[in-house]
Amino acid sequence: MLVKSERIELNKRRTKTAGWIEKFGVYIMILVLLILGTLISNKFLTIDNLANVVHAVALLGIVAVGVTFVTYSGHFADMSVPGIIALSGMVAVDMLRYGLVVSLASGLVTGLMVGLINAFVVGKLRANPIIWTLAVAFVINGVVRWLYRGEQIYPDLKAGEKLATAFVNLARINIGGAVPITVVVFLVMVIIGQLLLTKTKFGVQLKLIGSSYEVARMTGVNVTGMVGLAFILSALAASIGGILLTSLVKIGAYYNGVGYDFRAVTAIVLGGVSLAGGKGNMIGVLGGVVVIGLLNNILTLLGVGTFSQTIVQGLVFILVVWFNTYSLRKLGKADG
């Protein structure tokens, strides 16, 4: 039998543990994977290998950071992300002939405009986010294929050798000769995102909206603006990712970015952001993205074939989320 104060103490401790698991649970997973990897191969725990892992998932991470705002605000996911990636990349290539700055700016603006439309329809008119962004993805896909007649476009044919080289090298810059730019952009975005979520009015209000939209509205939060902003940030991140991806593959094409919608959600959820909204943080998303990279790395080092890798990825995903939900519920912080 517990005395009242003891019970309160225990509850406090439980809540604390729960909060900890909620915030950083994914890092337990990373630790497990790191140990596993070290046991499997002596080349695993080298800077080169780990750097490769992060490099390979950096683009996914950039996109995931943006979608996190949408998920955090309780609006599930932005399914128009693949469309934005393809569109902003193609526009950037197309505008390259007017100079690199114009190209990048127009790529970003295109993404922003799609984000604005999403912001208006979901934020203002309260359309269902998944379905609306899905419709947007369909429309973008159709428009892009129609405009470019199903062709892919190349920077050097659009703008000549010099500008093309500048554009193509964008994703190949190494900061300090060692750190790829995609990784730098990703980490910077994580930090900015984390600051936005924790240190600004926007972040606090977004959390409130994610926890309960109605309560947020009643307390006078500008829900329309905040939700809209989340979608705009998501589109912005996707267009940054889209431009970098296009620069990497040297092709503007309507199929660039396929699959990024679901992969981003996978990373976000692994990172402890609840689809119900209002829970999680960017550091967790960073972890979620790294887990995806590490898992692939270890499975390939083990020599597991593609088919079995697919199964393992699916199962690990379910198990991790299950564990997360289960432990949170046991600890008295039910999810959703």
Partner 1 sequence: MGKKITGVLLVVLMAALLLLLFGCGGKQTQPSPGSQTGQGEKKSSNLEESIKAEGKVAQLKSDDGQPLLPPLEKKEVPPRPADPSKLPEDDAMHWYDMEYSGWGVTKVNIPQSPKDGAKGKKVILIVHGDHPWTTAYIRGAKKVADAYGMELKVMSPNWNPDVQAQMVDQAIGARPDMILMIPVDAKMSVQLFRKINQAGIPVIASNTHPESEAMKYVIAWTGPDDWGQFRMLARKFAELMHYEGGYAIIQHNPGGSPFFARTYAPITELKKIAPKMELLDKQAPGFEAEKTMQVVSDWLTRFGNKLKGIILSDDSAQAIGAVEAIKNANRQDIILVAAGNSKVGMDLVKEGKLQAITYQTAEGDGAAAVKAAADWFNGHDVEPVRYLPMHIITKDDVDKFMPAQW
Partner 2 sequence: MDKMNKKFFQVINNYRIYFLCSLVFIAMAIFVPNFLTVYNLTNILKGMSLNVMVAIGFTIVMICKELDLSIGTTLTLGAMFVIGFQPALGWGWSLLIAVLAGALVGLANGFLVARAKIDSFIVTLGTMTTVQGIIFLYGKGYALNATDFTVADWLETPIIPFLPPRVLITIVLVLLFQVLLARTRYGRGFYMVGANRETAWLAGLNTEGYVIVAFILSGITAALGGALFAMSLSSATPTIGTSSLMIVVAATIIGGTSMAGGKGSILGSAVAVLTLTILYNGLTNLGAGYEIQILASGLVLAMVVLYEAYALYRADKVKGQRPELLKEVRMLQEGSKGS
Task: Confirm or reject binding of residue 269 to partner 2 (CB under 8 A).
Answer: yes
Cβ–Cβ < 8 Å for 118, 136: yes
Site string for partner 2, 102-121 (x = CB under 8 A): -------------------x
Amino acid, single-letter form, for residue 86: A
Q: For the CA atoms of 40, 45, 50, 51, what is the dihedral angle to 10 degrees?
A: -140
Q: In angstroms, what is the minimal distance from the CB of 58 to partner 2?
A: 22
Which option in partner 2, partner 1, none does residue 141 bind, with CB closer than 5 to 8 A by kind? Answer: partner 2
Give 239's contacts (C-beta < 8 A, 6+ positions apart): 84, 85, 88, 107, 108, 110, 111, 112
Smaller CB distance to partner 2: residue 49 or 224? 224
Task: Confirm or reject binding of residue 300 to partner 2 (CB under 8 A).
Answer: no
Amino acid, single-letter form, for residue 215: V
Q: For the CA atoms of 144, 147, 150, 155, what is the dihedral angle to 10 degrees?
A: -80
Closest CA to 217 of 203, 201, 205: 205
Give 162's contacts (C-beta < 8 A, 6+ positions apart): none
Task: Confirm or reject binding of residue 212 to partner 2 (CB under 8 A).
Answer: no
Smaller CB distance to partner 2: residue 20 or 326? 326
Tokens of 5: 């104060």
Q: In angstroms, what is the minimal distance from the CB of 175 to partner 1?
A: 14
Strands, E, within the chain: which ranges? 174-175, 179-180
Which option in partner 2, partner 1, none does residue 251 bind, with CB closer than 5 to 8 A by kind? Answer: partner 1
> Which sign, positive or negative, has the C-alpha torsion 10, 13, 15, 17?
negative
Region of 13-21, 42-50, 271-279, 285-293 interacting with partner 2 (CB under 8 A): 271-279
Residue numbers of the site for partner 1 (CB under 8 A)? 41, 43-44, 46, 48-49, 52-53, 55-57, 59-60, 90-91, 94-95, 106, 110, 113, 116-117, 120, 143, 145, 147-154, 156-157, 172, 180, 245, 248-251, 253, 259, 293, 296-297, 300-301, 303, 305-307
Cβ–Cβ < 8 Å for 244, 184: no
Tell me the HSE value of 170 on the side-chain side, using a 13 A CA sphere.
Answer: 27
Smaller CB distance to partner 1: residue 72 or 254? 254
Cβ–Cβ < 8 Å for 242, 257: yes
> Which sign, positive or negative, has the C-alpha torsion 127, 86, 196, 326?
positive
Task: Confirm or reject binding of residue 127 to partner 2 (CB under 8 A).
Answer: yes
Smaller CB distance to partner 2: residue 103 or 133? 133
Amino acid, single-letter form, for residue 273: V
Region of 159-167, 226-234, 289-297, 318-326 interacting with partner 2 (CB under 8 A): 318-326
Q: Would strands 174-175 and 179-180 be described as parallel, antiparallel, or unpaired?
A: antiparallel
Smaller CB distance to partner 2: residue 24 or 317? 317
Q: Say how many residues touch partner 2, by CB under 8 A.
A: 51
Residues at the contact surface with partner 2, assessed by CB under 8 A: 76-77, 121, 124-128, 130-132, 134-143, 145-146, 150, 262, 265-266, 269, 274-276, 306-315, 317-318, 321-322, 325-326, 329, 334-336
